[in-house]
Amino acid sequence: MIVVMGPHATREQINVVVKKIQDAGLGSHLSAGVERTIIGVVGDSHTKELLRQSLEASAGVERIVLILQPFKLVGREFRPHDTVVDVQGVRIGDGSIVVMAGPCSVESREQILQAARAVKAAGAAMLRGGAFKPRTSPYSFQGLEEEGLRYLAEARAETGLPVVTEAMDADQLMLVIKYADMVQIGARNMQNYTLLREVGRSKHPLLLKRGPSATIQELLLAAEYVMSEGNYNVVLCERGLRGFDDQTRFLLDLSAVPVLKGLSHLPVVVDPSQATGKWKYVGPMAKASVAAGVDGLIIEVHPEPDKALSDGPQQLTPQHFTQLMSEITPLAGALGRRVQSPATIRT
């Protein structure tokens, strides 16, 4: 249920409505727009219905809107305008295209510094890199952990690029928040509800990846877990679904981009590296993502992919990434958009 306050509602009237909601044992979430304040009411449906008449009669209330979708805070009914997530000056969802780039895994200090310099020179606005690596095999490279986070922080200090990296549990989350600017919840943890709630309480910007077998509704409900704890700094990521063909790693669902942007106010990015699994397909699918209306791309770039400790076949060389950026920029311009460059970042 949503309470829409009138355009001239006072702060005192808004506070009265919020108190009524909280006194009933329900949760309240405010979204202040240019003309109106919207109050989302979450909790037991029976209690909300009992409270409805009292809220409708409250001063300053314009109308009550019932939400039929299972996700309440994520939906456009709660916030009709697009959310912009600010990550140290990089604005995801403001109409521009944000490119996050870097290696699958942080393997050494020199490797991540070299990669960070290369992706910044090519025009990336953020640096990605895994310090904790969830792998299918327990014998595969698992990441440098906190040492890798320190290298990422050093790369940020040199280049000015904000860092996004993955956390897999609550302990790792605290370390990631200490060193990085944005936390990633990977596909394997999309429905780790305990971890999602912890990210929600942290208020740290989040990149939430869709699970390989997850529906769009399940992805939005995962985001709802985070937002229900008060963290609205959520960016959704499409990274491919498990299919039956082995020509690519996953089946990249580009139709999810307009669907998500229609259902939700949250920004949407695409990961063509994880989706395709082969570097030669990353460029075409990155450009297709731009055409689909994506807010950003997350692309794996390694100085020497043939020597990578994880996912080498899907990582671009710096030269290939530079070429891709030179193709994305005019494509975005033809669509009336721009690629957000490092020059626009606050340092």
User: Which pLDDT score, from 0 to 100, does residue 347 have?
Assistant: 47
Indicate if 9 and 93 belong to the same structural domain: no
CA 127/CA 182 separation, integer angstroms: 10
Please indicate, yes or no, if residue 283 is contained in any of the structural domains: yes
Indicate if 43 and 189 belong to the same structural domain: no
CA 287/CA 197 separation, integer angstroms: 34
List, edge to edge, every strand of the sheet that includes 61-65: 27-32, 37-42, 2-5, 61-65
Indicate if 287 and 337 belong to the same structural domain: yes
Give the number of residues written for the chain.
Answer: 347
Looking up tokens 């996953």, which residue turns up? 250
Q: Which two tokens stand for residue 86?
A: 């600010």
DSSP β-bridge partners for residue 45: none
Indicate if 257 and 340 belong to the same structural domain: yes
Indicate if 35 and 93 belong to the same structural domain: no
Indicate if 137 and 272 belong to the same structural domain: yes
Indicate if 282 and 329 belong to the same structural domain: yes
Going by C-alpha positions, the residue among 113, 131, 228 that lies closest to residue 184 is 131
CATH number, domain of 323, equals 3.20.20.70
User: Which pLDDT score, from 0 to 100, does residue 345 have?
Assistant: 54
CA 182/CA 173 separation, integer angstroms: 10
Going by C-alpha positions, the residue among 190, 195, 181 that lies closest to residue 102 is 181
Please indicate, yes or no, if residue 72 is contained in any of the structural domains: no
Chain center to CA of 39: 23
**307 CB burial (10 A radius; 0-12, 13-18, 19+):** exposed
What DSSP state is assigned to residue 169?
A: S
Please indicate, yes or no, if residue 149 is contained in any of the structural domains: yes
Indicate if 43 and 98 belong to the same structural domain: no
How many domains would you assign to the chain?
2
Please indicate, yes or no, if residue 24 is contained in any of the structural domains: yes
Neighbours of 44 (CB within 10 A): 11
User: Which pLDDT score, from 0 to 100, does residue 38 have?
Assistant: 92
Please indicate, yes or no, if residue 77 is contained in any of the structural domains: no
Indicate if 263 and 122 belong to the same structural domain: yes
Which of 37, 65, 93 delimits the end of a domain? 65
Please indicate, yes or no, if residue 71 is contained in any of the structural domains: no
CA 126/CA 342 separation, integer angstroms: 8
Cα distances from 28 to residues 41, 72, 264, in angstroms, run: 5, 11, 19
Indicate if 55 and 177 belong to the same structural domain: no
Please indicate, yes or no, if residue 254 is contained in any of the structural domains: yes
- Amino acid in position 221: L
pLDDT digits (tens), the chain, 347 positions: 999 999 999 999 999 999 999 999 999 999 887 788 999 998 888 888 889 999 999 999 999 988 878 899 999 989 989 999 999 999 999 999 999 999 999 999 999 999 999 999 999 999 999 999 877 788 777 789 999 999 999 999 999 999 999 999 999 999 999 999 999 999 999 999 999 999 999 999 999 999 999 999 999 999 999 999 999 999 999 999 999 999 999 999 999 999 999 999 999 999 999 999 999 999 999 999 999 999 999 999 999 999 999 999 999 999 999 999 999 999 999 999 999 988 655 54
Cβ atoms of residues 227 and 78 within 8 Å: no
Indicate if 186 and 37 belong to the same structural domain: no
Q: Which domain holds residue 14?
A: 2-65
CATH number, domain of 43, equals 3.30.70.1140
Indicate if 126 and 48 belong to the same structural domain: no
Please indicate, yes or no, if residue 76 is contained in any of the structural domains: no
User: Helices (H), strands (E): how many in the chain?
Assistant: 11, 14
User: Which pLDDT score, from 0 to 100, does residue 143 have?
Assistant: 83
